[in-house]
Amino acid sequence: MHSQFKILFVLILLFSATVGYTQKAESIDATKNILLLKETSGGIILHSQGWGLKFSKGYNKTAFKKRILSFDIVEIKSLKQIRTINPYFPNSRSYFYGKLNSFFVIRASYGIHRLLNRKPYWGGVEVRFVYMGGFSLGLAKPVYLYILNANSIDFIYTRTIEKYDPSEHFYDNIYGRGPFTKGFSNMSVYPGLHAKIGLDFEYGSYSTKVKSLEIGAEIDIFPNPVPIMAFNEPNYFFLTFYINFNFGKRYN
């Protein structure tokens, strides 16, 4: 967890440096005082348990309030998963021992961006308070591994691809992770809800372009617990801290 917060801190520092450079490099937008009602943007989400992608549509109800409809897809990893390899076989592939499922969440959100600090006419950073919520659709894809099978006569090993079973697969007979595409046909579905709060820092110099960084916290809640690791209790909720880079355009 500490390393993930360090990464977020470094990214914020890089963002601050980028803002300074951008403001110097770009000229002042002559249409800055015109309220553009619509916007479309996309971006990358980095959070404390993985990463994801985001697409959003916005509508400026007033200069101080913006409505947002967004769709995200993120991967959520267990904080307890540790990458390992089988040291007894050359060229073995790394894997996460005990990991039952790769977990992905598709989110559909509606919310508000409320202006806290308006950008000066010569440029700078505009700050908005973000609060959103909506539906989550969790998808748990079973983990498949290459398993070593020894011939009892001549001890020649063969490899098979099998769904991870903690009662049968151990450090000594796991060769490594299987193909990522394996398991999509056996996914389990977990419907749920989510909510988030954050701050959005808009630093673009042109009113027709969306350039912002959003930081905050988000929680996904599922009525049925989600099993990710074999030797841990399944989770009913996931609380993550995120940083989101957004790029797009505004128009009428």
pLDDT in tens, 6-33: 555 545 544 544 444 444 444 445 455 5
Residue 185 has phi, psi (to 5 degrees) of -75, -10
- In this predicted structure, the answer to whether residue 49 has a pLDDT above a threshold of 80 is yes
**Average pLDDT for 88-106:** 95
Q: pTM of this prediction?
A: 0.84
CATH assignment of 2-251, among 2.60.260.20, 2.40.160.20, 1.10.150.20, 3.40.1380.20: 2.40.160.20
Percent above pLDDT 90 for the chain: 72
Spatial contact of 117 and 55, defined as CB atoms under 8 Å apart: no
Alpha helices in 125-249 (DSSP H): none
pLDDT, tens digit (0-9, with 9 covering 90-100), for 101-136? 999 999 999 999 999 988 776 668 999 999 999 999
**Average pLDDT for 138-149:** 97
Spatial contact of 114 and 129, defined as CB atoms under 8 Å apart: yes
